[in-house]
C-alpha cells in the first residue's frame, strides 16, 4: 500500500502521537472516612463542585518496534474547582461541614498508562491487537470552608488522595476505511482485590481519524472511563467511584 499517494500508513509507521481535549460529562461519588474509621457521608461530588472552572486533556503515544509489536502510553488530566453553598451537612474525613457553609471543592484526576500490544490479526487494511498494561490512577479531592462554631470561626479543610495502580487487559482494532480515513477502537478492563485495594476499571474508546499527511491528522472520538475503588490506607479511607464520558477532538501525527 503506497503511503505517498494515500497519506501515512498507520499500520506500518513507527510512531504515532495524538493530543486531544474533551467535552466531559462526569459522575463522581466519594466517601472519605474519618481516621477513627467512622463512616463519612457519601458525596455526589459533581453536584457539590458543579460546572466550575475545568481543564481536561489526553495525550496518547505509540511506538511500533516490530511488525506485530507495539508499546503504547497515555496521560489524561482532569481538574476542576468551584465554591458552592452546601444544602446539607457533610461528614468529610475528620471534618463536619454544616448546612449553608460556603465550601470550596477542588479536584485533580490524572491517569497514566503503559501497555504492550501484540497484533494477533494483521491484514493490508486491518489490525487487531491484544493489550496488557497498567493504569496508574491519581486523584485528589479537597473540601474547605469557613465554619462558625461555639468557639468562634475557623477554617475547616480535609482532602482525599488516591493512588491506585490497576492492571488492564483488552483488545484494540485499527481499520483503514478509505485512503486517509481510519477507524480506531479499544476496550480495556480489569478488576483487582489485593492488600488495601479493591477496585475495577473499564476504558472504552472509538474514534475516526483523517490523516492526509504525517504531520496533519484530525480526529473525532468518544471515550468512556469507569473506575470503582475501595481503599484503606493512610491517604484515603473510603470509597471512590468515577465515570466520565464524552466526545473528544484530537490532533494526530504519524511517522
What pLDDT, in 10s, does the model give residues 24-34? Answer: 666 778 877 77
When pLDDT is cut at 50, 70 and 90, the band that residue 42 belongs to is: confident
Q: Distance between CA atoms of 89 and 98, rounded to whole angstroms? A: 4
Q: Which residues on neighbouring strands pair with residue 121, listed in sequence order?
A: 128
Coil, strand or helix at 125: coil
| CA angle centred on 199, ends 50 and 197, rounded to 5° | 110
Q: Mean pLDDT over all residues of the chain?
A: 85
Q: What is the pTM of this model?
A: 0.81
Q: How many Cβ atoms from other residues are within 10 Å of residue 250's Cβ?
A: 20
Q: Distance between CA atoms of 246 and 51, rounded to whole angstroms? A: 15
Mean pLDDT over 182-192 rounds to: 93
Q: For residue 190, give the nearest of 181, 199, 178, 177 by alpha carbon.
A: 199
pLDDT of residue 3 exceeding 50, the answer is no
Q: Which helix (H) or strand (E) holds 217?
A: strand 216-232
Domain ranges for the chain: 3-254
DSSP string, 11-72: TT-SEEEEEEEE--EEEEEEEE--TT-----EEEHHHHHTT-EEEEEEEEEEEE-SSSEEEE
- CATH fold for domain 3-254: Lipocalin (2.40.128)
**Higher-pLDDT residue of 122, 86:** 122
Q: Distance between CA atoms of 73 and 38, rounded to whole angstroms? A: 39
Asked which of 139-148, 156-165, 216-225, 244-253 is least confident by mean pLDDT, the reply is: 156-165
Asked which of 155-159, 213-217, 238-242, 246-250 is least confident by mean pLDDT, the reply is: 238-242
pLDDT of residue 1 exceeding 50, the answer is no
Tens-digit pLDDT profile for residues 43-89: 777 676 555 556 688 999 999 999 999 999 999 888 888 888 888 88
Q: Which residues on neighbouring strands pair with residue 62, listed in sequence order?
A: 16, 72
Task: Please say whether the beta carbons of 224 and 204 come within 8 A.
Answer: yes
Amino acid at each position: 500500500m503506497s503511503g505517498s499517494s494515500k497519506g501515512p500508513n498507520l499500520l506500518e509507521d513507527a510512531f504515532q502521537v495524538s493530543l486531544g481535549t474533551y467535552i466531559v460529562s462526569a459522575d463522581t461519588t466519594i466517601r472519605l472516612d474519618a481516621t477513627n474509621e467512622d463512616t463519612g457521608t457519601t458525596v455526589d461530588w459533581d453536584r457539590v463542585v458543579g460546572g466550575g472552572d475545568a481543564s481536561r486533556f489526553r495525550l496518547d503515544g505509540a511506538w511500533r518496534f516490530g511488525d506485530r509489536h507495539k508499546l503504547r502510553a497515555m496521560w489524561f488530566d482532569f481538574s476542576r474547582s468551584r465554591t458552592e453553598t452546601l444544602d446539607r451537612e457533610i461528614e468529610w474525613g475528620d471534618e463536619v461541614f454544616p448546612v449553608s457553609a460556603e465550601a470550596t471543592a477542588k479536584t485533580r484526576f490524572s491517569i497514566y498508562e503503559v501497555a504492550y500490544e501484540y497484533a494477533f490479526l494483521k491484514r493490508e487494511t486491518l489490525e487487531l491487537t491484544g493489550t496488557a498494561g497498567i493504569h496508574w490512577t491519581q486523584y485528589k479531592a479537597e473540601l474547605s470552608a469557613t465554619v462558625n462554631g461555639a468557639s468562634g470561626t475557623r477554617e475547616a479543610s480535609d482532602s482525599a488522595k488516591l493512588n491506585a495502580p490497576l492492571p488492564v487487559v483488552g483488545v484494540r482494532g485499527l481499520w483503514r476505511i478509505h485512503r486517509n480515513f481510519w477507524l480506531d477502537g479499544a476496550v480495556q478492563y480489569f478488576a483487582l482485590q489485593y492488600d488495601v485495594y479493591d477496585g475495577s476499571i473499564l476504558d472504552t474508546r472509538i474514534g475516526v481519524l483523517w490523516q492526509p499527511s504525517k504531520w496533519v491528522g484530525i480526529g473525532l472520538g468518544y471515550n468512556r472511563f469507569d473506575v470503582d475503588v475501595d481503599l484503606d490506607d493512610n491517604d484515603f479511607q473510603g470509597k471512590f467511584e468515577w465515570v466520565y464520558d464524552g466526545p473528544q477532538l484530537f490532533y494526530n501525527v504519524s511517522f
